[in-house]
């Protein structure tokens, strides 16, 4: 189980090796993705809070990256955070997600990206429920439910 200290270590010292890599030009991503998904995943955008019904769906299943289909989260780790974005306590696998220090928006945060294709997913915070204490706050449009 990942804890906040693990996340900080990844962000500062290097992320786990991904199972594979998917790399495409910005032009190819733009052709393959809708304008909104491109903005969120490739330009580090954020969807409006509470704009997705995904926040309140708690059905069994798995969530993958909308860009490359890398498995990101299991629905068993999903919880209601009240934040307005789907939230999870753990990634599906330790190497599913990469962590990047983010000092934008006048605050210090840890950005989460797909470890396979570098798609922006959202951020992780140390204010989640026990036992991990993590809250992966994810843009719904960056994921597809399998």
Report the catalytic residues. 137
Residue pair 65/116 in contact (Cβ under 8 Å)? The answer is yes
List C-alpha distances in Å: 41 to 9, 74, 113, 128, 140: 24, 20, 9, 23, 11
Token pair in block for residue 144: 């597809």
User: What is the C-alpha separation between 132 and 84, in angstroms, rounded?
Assistant: 21
Question: H or E element: which one contains 64?
Answer: strand 62-65
């Amino acid at each position: 189980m990942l804890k906040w200290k693990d996340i900080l270590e990844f962000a500062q010292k290097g992320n786990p090796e991904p199972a594979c890599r998917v790399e495409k030009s910005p032009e190819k991503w733009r052709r393959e993705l809708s304008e909104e998904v491109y903005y969120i995943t490739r330009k580090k955008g954020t969807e409006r809070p509470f704009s997705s019904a995904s926040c309140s769906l708690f059905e069994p299943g798995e969530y993958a990256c909308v860009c490359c289909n890398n498995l990101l989260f299991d629905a068993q780790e999903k919880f209601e955070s009240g934040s307005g974005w789907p939230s999870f306590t753990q990634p599906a696998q330790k190497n599913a997600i990469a962590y990047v220090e983010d000092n934008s928006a006048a605050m210090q945060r840890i950005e989460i990206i797909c470890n396979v294709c570098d798609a922006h997913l959202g951020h992780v915070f140390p204010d989640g429920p026990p036992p991990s204490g993590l809250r992966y706050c994810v843009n719904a449009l960056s994921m597809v439910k399998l």
